[in-house]
Structure 1
Amino acid sequence: MTSPSEIYIESTETDPVVRAQSVLQQTNQRLQGRLATLTEIDPVADARESVRTAWADFCTGEARRYLNACDQTLYAAAAGAAETRLLVRALRTTASVVHNHIDRLPSADSAASAGIVRATVAVLRTHLAVERNVLLPALVRLPDADLPALVADLDTLLSGGRLETPAVIDVREIPHGQRHPRIFTRFARLAPGETFTLVNNHDPKPPHREFQSAHPGTFTWEYVESGPEQWQVRIGRQAGSDG
C-alpha cells in the first residue's frame, strides 16, 4: 500500500525530484551569496587580520566542505554516465585548482594571500555557475540518478555527518537503473588503498568499462567469484591515488 507521503504529482512541487532540485539550487546559491558578501571586502585595501581570517575560514571551512561533499555525492553519481562523465572530470579539475589555492593560504603573507583569494574567487564563481547551469539540469535528466538520495547524502556531509560505507554492495535487489550510480558513489567514498566488494548475478562488464573511462589508472578490479550463479568483484582505489 502506498503511503500518503509517497503520493505526488510528477513535475510539480510535490515531486521528490523537483524538491531535491530546489534544495540543490538553494545550496549552490547560498554559497554564491556568501562568496559575494566576502568579495565586498578588498583584502588588499583592508589589511586587517580579521579580513584575512574571514577569508581563510570560508575557504578552509565552508568552501572546502562543499566541494568535498559534492565530489562524494553529485559528482560520484554523474561520473558513471556517458552524458556527464566529461563534465564531472572538468568540475573535479576546477575543484582541484580551488583546493590547491586554499592549501597555499596558511603560509602566505598579506600581499600573496590577496592574490590567492582573488584567484580562488574567480575559479570558484565559475565552478558554481557550471554546477548550477549545467550539472544540476543534467542530473535531473539522468535516469539512473536518485536525486533525492543524493541531496540527503549531501546534506549529511554539509552538516558534518558521515555517510555509510558498506564493505559489500549487493546490487541484485537494486533496480537496474540505480545500480551503476550506487557503485560509483561507493567508489567515491574510498580512501586510497581501500576496497569494497560488488555482488551481482552476472559478470559486471559494463561498469568495468565505465571505470576504465571515468577513473583510468586509479582503480583496482579483482574477481573473487565468477559465476555461474553469482559474481563478486573487489573494487578498490589504488594506493597513492586521489581519484
Structure 2
Amino acid sequence: MAPSADIHIEATETDPVVRARTAISRGHRELLAGLAAFTGPEPAAGHGESVHADLTGFCTGELRSHLSAADATLYAAASGAAGTRLLVRALRTGRAALDTRIDALAATGDAAAAVPLARAVEAVLAVHLEVEEAVLVPALAALPGADLPALVEDMGTLLAGGRLETPAVIDVREIPHGRRHPRIFARFDRLGAGESFTLVNNHDPKPLRREFEAAHPGAHTWDYVESGPEIWQVRIGRPGRAAAAR
C-alpha cells in the first residue's frame, strides 16, 4: 500500500509547511531575478524600446500578480489576527509604495529613465519580500486556524488565473475532520467588511469558536441560526466598517 500523502516528518522536506515555505522563497527569488535581468550590470539585450516594453510588462504583469495574490491569501489570513494585524498593515503600505513606483515606470516614455525607476522598484521589493519571508510566513505557520500549505496553494490558483471559492454555506459534515477548521478559516479570510458565511455542523462548534476568539478577537461575528439538537448553523462574519472602527 502506498504511504498516505498526509504522513510526513515535521520540519523536514516532507513537511507540507516546509514545502510551502520553500515555494514562497522560490517565488521570491524568481521575481528578484526577473527584475535583475533589467537592472543588473549587464541588462537584458535588445533595443531600448523593446527592453522598456518587456520591463514594464514584467512589473505590471508578473510582479503585480504576485503582490495581488499574496494580499488575497497570506495577508488576508493574517489581517484579522491581533498578533499580525499591524504587520499586514505595514506590508500593504509597502505594496502601495511598490504600486506607486510601478506606475511611474509604466508612465515614462523614456527607455533610458526606465532602468533607474526599475532599480527603485527592486530596492523596495527586496525589503518587502524579506519581510514576507522572514516575518509574515513564520507567523502564519504558527497562527491558530491558518493553513500555510493551503494558502500557498490558493496563491498558485490565483497566479494561474483561477478564482478562489467563496461559498455562502460550508457544511463541514462533508469535510474530513482534520481539514474542517483550516477550510473555515480560509473562507473567513476572504470576507470583506460586513460579509458572512454560514457554517453547518452536527454539533455545537465550541472549539472552533475558541479558535476564532484567539485568532481574531473583536474582529469576527458569531451568530447562531440553528442550535441543534441534530443540526447547528452559525453565521460567521466580519464586522461592518463602522462597527470595526469603534
State TM-score, norm by structure 1.
0.73
**Cα distance change on mapping 1:118 and 1:148 into 2, 3 Å:** same
What runs of 5+ residues in structure 2 fail to find an aligned partner? 242-246
Looking at structure 1, the residues matched to 187 and 4 of structure 2 have their Cα atoms a distance apart, in angstroms, of 31
The answer for the alignment partner of 2:17 in structure 1 is 17
**Cα distance change on mapping 1:103 and 1:227 into 2, 3 Å:** farther
Q: Bigger radius of gyration, 1 or 2?
A: 2
Q: Residue 224 of structure 1 contacts residue 234 of structure 1 at CA under 8 Å; is this kept in 2?
A: no
Q: Residue 224 of structure 2 contacts residue 233 of structure 2 at CA under 8 Å; is this kept in 1?
A: no
Looking at structure 2, the residues matched to 224 and 4 of structure 1 have their Cα atoms a distance apart, in angstroms, of 37
CA deviation vs aligned residue, 1:187-224 (integer Å, no higher than 9, x gap): 2xx5x9x9442437579784774438xxxxxxxx7969
Looking at structure 2, the residues matched to 180 and 81 of structure 1 have their Cα atoms a distance apart, in angstroms, of 15
> Which secondary structure state, in structure 2, belongs to the residue aligned with residue 81 of structure 1?
coil
**What amino acid maps onto 1:79 in structure 2?**
S
Q: Residue 94 of structure 1 contacts residue 127 of structure 1 at CA under 8 Å; is this kept in 2?
A: yes
CA deviation vs aligned residue, 1:149-185 (integer Å, no higher than 9, x gap): 1111111112222221222345787778637732442
Task: Within 5 Å, give how 1:14-53 maps onto structure 2.
Answer: 14-40=14-40, 48-53=48-53
How many residue pairs match? The answer is 224
- State yes or no: 1:185 paired with 2:182: no
Which has the larger displacement, 56-65 or 3-12? Answer: 3-12
Task: Within 5 Å, give how 1:158-237 maps onto structure 2.
Answer: 158-169=159-170, 178=182, 181-187=185-191, 195-199=195-199, 201=204, 206=213, 209-211=217-219, 225=225, 230-233=233-236, 235=238
CA deviation vs aligned residue, 1:31-84 (integer Å, no higher than 9, x gap): 1222222211689xx981122112101111110000011011111112232222
Offset of 1:235 from its aligned partner? 4.9
Identity of aligned residues (%): 44
- State yes or no: 1:58 paired with 2:66: no
Task: Within 5 Å, give how 1:5-154 maps onto structure 2.
Answer: 5-40=5-40, 48-110=48-110, 113-154=114-155
Looking at structure 1, the residues matched to 142 and 100 of structure 2 have their Cα atoms a distance apart, in angstroms, of 32
Which has the larger displacement, 194-203 or 7-16? Answer: 194-203
The answer for the alignment partner of 1:156 in structure 2 is 157
**What amino acid maps onto 1:157 in structure 2?**
L
